[in-house]
Amino acid sequence: MRVMMMKKIINRINASKSIVIMPHLKPDGDAVGSSLALAKGLLKLNKKVKIISLDEISYELKFLDFHDFWVSSLNIDEYDLIISLDSSDIDRLKDRIEFLVKPIINIDHHKTNTFFGELNFVDSEASATGEIIYNLLIEMNVDFDTEISEDLYTAIATDTGNFMYSNTTSITHEIIAKLMKNNIDVTEISRNLFQNIPLKKFIFDAKVLDQVEFYNNNQVGIVTISHEIRNTYGCKNTDNIVEAIRNIEGVEISVVIVEKENEVKISMRSKSDFDVAEIAVNHGGGGHKNAAGFGMATTLEAAKKLILEELDNVYARIG
């Protein structure tokens, strides 16, 4: 089935002259790296290609070579195909809804994907969308240069937590080994991704982490982040905070609740077999077993109360 779908997608791409790539809103390393690798691969196949995103690139990803691919606006009439990357549902593209007027190819690795495309390639066993793009470019006979290899390494390394998470497989390492043969500097990439926190961001993280509350015999760590503190320090990216809480000994589930413009965003992480995606899906979100999230129009305290109730229900069920 996947082989047939891959062939259909390749045929559709080959038949297209101009392509728009859409990563999910607030793109992470996998979304950014996969988009850049695909764009550069398509350019080698003489396709007109742009990546459209309305979000600022996060500080740790700015070392990548974006060239002129990454734009915030374009004339969609000049394009005949959209490729959505790393988006589990159409809502992850809702900030660019006016551009969703062309056929969509949906490529993703989230098990909660809603198959919203005309063609859908969803492989929940892949560690990252970057793995899928690697295989797609191989099948399309794209020559891997250093830049494409850096982009894909970034995509996979970030979504596997630098190869620490349970989604890392032997296939993941096989792909990484092949990418490393293309003259990429793994030490430099890793320094940018994981050892490059701005001082203001570090101080912000420290203040937020000082407010973490623990529940269920310290197995659950939760923190809320208000508009005020985010604006004070100018920090939009809080993904590393939910990871930091999960890294604490004894913590099985970490939750970060962030106040946005018209909603709050709940990000959850877990260890072992606790499936946080189950909670996210119940509230219109999605993700993976150990990393998921959702948004809702409510207050920080109401969202915190809801999460604690959800966790109590799950703990009661699994004993």
Q: Helix (H, G, I), strand (E, B), or coil: what is residue 306?
A: helix
pLDDT at 247 over 60: yes
pLDDT, tens only, 184-234 = 999 999 999 999 999 999 999 999 999 999 999 999 999 999 999 998 988
pLDDT, tens only, 285-301 = 988 889 999 999 999 99
pLDDT attached to residue 317: 66
Cα(86)–Cα(130) distance, rounded to whole angstroms?
A: 9
pLDDT at 319 over 70: no
Cα(75)–Cα(168) distance, rounded to whole angstroms?
A: 39
pLDDT attached to residue 272: 79
pLDDT attached to residue 110: 94
Cα(83)–Cα(251) distance, rounded to whole angstroms?
A: 38
β pairing state of 286-287 and 291-296:
antiparallel
What integer is the mean pLDDT of 150-170? Answer: 95
Q: What is the mean pLDDT of the chain?
A: 94
pLDDT attached to residue 126: 97
pLDDT band at 273 (very low <50, low <70, confident <90, very high): confident
pLDDT band at 159 (very low <50, low <70, confident <90, very high): very high
Cα(133)–Cα(37) distance, rounded to whole angstroms?
A: 8
Residue listed under structure tokens 């995606």 = 277
β pairing state of 70-71 and 48-52:
parallel
3.20.20.60, 1.20.1200.10, 3.10.310.30, 3.40.50.620: which CATH number matches 200-318? 3.10.310.30
Q: Domain extents for the chain?
A: 2-194, 200-318
Domain boundaries 2-194, corresponding CATH code: 3.90.1640.10
Sheet holding 81-85, edge to edge: 70-71, 48-52, 18-23, 81-85, 104-108, 119-122
pLDDT attached to residue 41: 98
